Amino acid sequence: MTIINQLKTRDNFNGSEKDLANYILKNKEDVLNLSIQKLAINTFSSTSTIVRLCRKIGLKGFKDFKIKLSAELQKHYDDISTVDPDFPFTEDDSNKEIAQKIANVMETSIKQTSELLDNSTLEKAIRLISKAKNFGIFAYGDTYISALSFQNKLMKINFHAQLPTLVEESNFLADNFQKDDCALVISYSGRTKTTYQMTKILRLNGCCIIAITADKHSKIAQLSDLVIPINNSESSTDKISPFASSVAIDYILNTLYSGLFVADYDNNQRHRLASEKLFSDSRFSEQKK
């Protein structure tokens, strides 16, 4: 039986030992950096209580306990492979366990989205955006933050992208887009009513529409000229936070930005370097004392 399971089972533990076991379970990583004296102070116990607990679970003492616990935790982190993207952690998880699980969710989301992509779709998207007379980004809710970051990156290479400041402005902005324009619509579910209504306006105006969505058969996808898929592993409603979908959308937008950068690499590189020089000249330099 593992150390953690023995601490949870608490076979033959007295009251002080149970309290000590509870503290260790809630602070597993921190305990590895504590001396036996400091652990005794933190748990209002004694060093003899700690040694007695270690021996009850078959270990020689506290040093042996920390070595075995460290190895056990590392194996536990390495074994974390399947995580529910909607509820990736529980109230019993330590901060380190949460960090590992979130990393797993994000890595899996990017990997699965990458596998859905093909070069021709990306090339077509970059070509449509590059040649558009006007380019707009339309997003709602959590995806708006990703859209804003994308617009910020494009601004730094002198590529103008329109993004509604308020939700209410989306339909009015969409109505200004015409045949020679291009709109990037971001919707994880592809079923958001607000985004759907705005996409219909774009479609009626003859605007070219690129959709980023997890459902290529959704109503929004059906109105679009090109669909860039992302992994569909997350619920559209019941979840702690959109960890998987957010990182997948950011991954696609970063890929598009990089593709647009490469499409006119020399000019974009010169513009970025010139901008950085301008910003550096505007900063106070450190004076030697």
109-280 CATH fold: Rossmann fold (3.40.50)
| Helices and strands, counts by H and E, the chain | 14, 4
Q: What is the pLDDT of residue 141?
A: 85
The span from the CA of 280 to the CA of 94, in Å, is: 42
User: Where do you find CATH 1.10.10.10 in the chain?
Assistant: 3-81
Contacts of 138 (CB under 8 A, 6+ apart): 147, 163, 164, 170, 173, 174, 183, 184, 185, 186, 195, 198, 199, 202
The burial of 22, by beta-carbon neighbours within 10 Å (0-12 exposed, 13-18 middle, 19 or more buried), is given as middle
Q: What is the pLDDT of residue 79?
A: 57
Q: Does domain 3-81 have CATH number 1.10.10.10?
A: yes
The span from the CA of 117 to the CA of 20, in Å, is: 51
User: Where do you find CATH 3.40.50.10490 in the chain?
Assistant: 109-280
pLDDT tens string for the chain (289 positions)? 788 889 988 888 999 999 999 999 888 888 999 999 999 999 999 999 999 999 999 999 999 999 999 988 877 666 555 666 666 567 777 788 888 888 888 888 899 999 999 999 999 999 999 999 999 999 988 899 999 999 999 998 999 999 998 878 889 999 999 999 999 999 988 888 889 999 999 999 999 999 999 998 999 999 999 999 998 876 555 556 678 888 999 999 999 999 999 998 898 888 888 777 776 665 666 655 4
The span from the CA of 279 to the CA of 274, in Å, is: 9
* Angle between helix 15-26 and 47-56 (nearest 10): 80
Structure tokens at 176: 């200004």
